Amino acid sequence: MENQKFNPIVWFEIYVEDMERATKFYEEVLKIKFQDMSDPTDTSVSMKAFPSADFNFGASESLVQMAGMKGGGGGTMVYFGCDDCKTEESRVISAGGKIDQPKSSLGEYGFCSIVSDPEGNKIGLHSMK
């Protein structure tokens, strides 16, 4: 892990209670298509993977619906990279989410918007312009 270019985050999960609603939100806001996933050890778990060409670079992630894990935020926030976060922010309301903090400057570190998905999970949208 001494390589400074290595991203140490390899996986994260966003817990949801309504997979169809959450899938629609992220696909509409981020303009992506999920890949179906399964948990080979627990068929009661429903998972949708964010698109990724290479699971060895950066963080891989999924929406997860499973017993005992509720959506709604709990202290960790994931930021999604965007060309201009205002674009993705403009899709949030129509996709069923809410805008918690409109696009704001981070100075030399770019800009971010903070939004909530329909499950109550807060996410960040980050861009350099």
Q: Across residues 66-75, what is the average pLDDT?
A: 78
The strand pairing partners of 46, in sequence order, are 65
Type of residue found at 42: D
**Residue pointed to by tokens 């030399």:** 108
Q: Is the pLDDT of residue 42 over 70?
A: yes
Structural domains for the chain: 11-127 (3.10.180.10)
CA–CA gap between residue 122 and residue 28 (Å, rounded)? 16
CA distances from 66 to 5, 16, 122 (A): 34, 8, 19
- Whether residue 26 contacts residue 123, with contact meaning beta carbons closer than 8 Å, is answered with no
Q: Is the pLDDT of residue 115 over 90?
A: yes
Q: Across residues 29-42, what is the average pLDDT?
A: 87
Q: Across residues 1-28, what is the average pLDDT?
A: 82
Confidence at residue 74, expressed as pLDDT on a 0 to 100 scale: 72
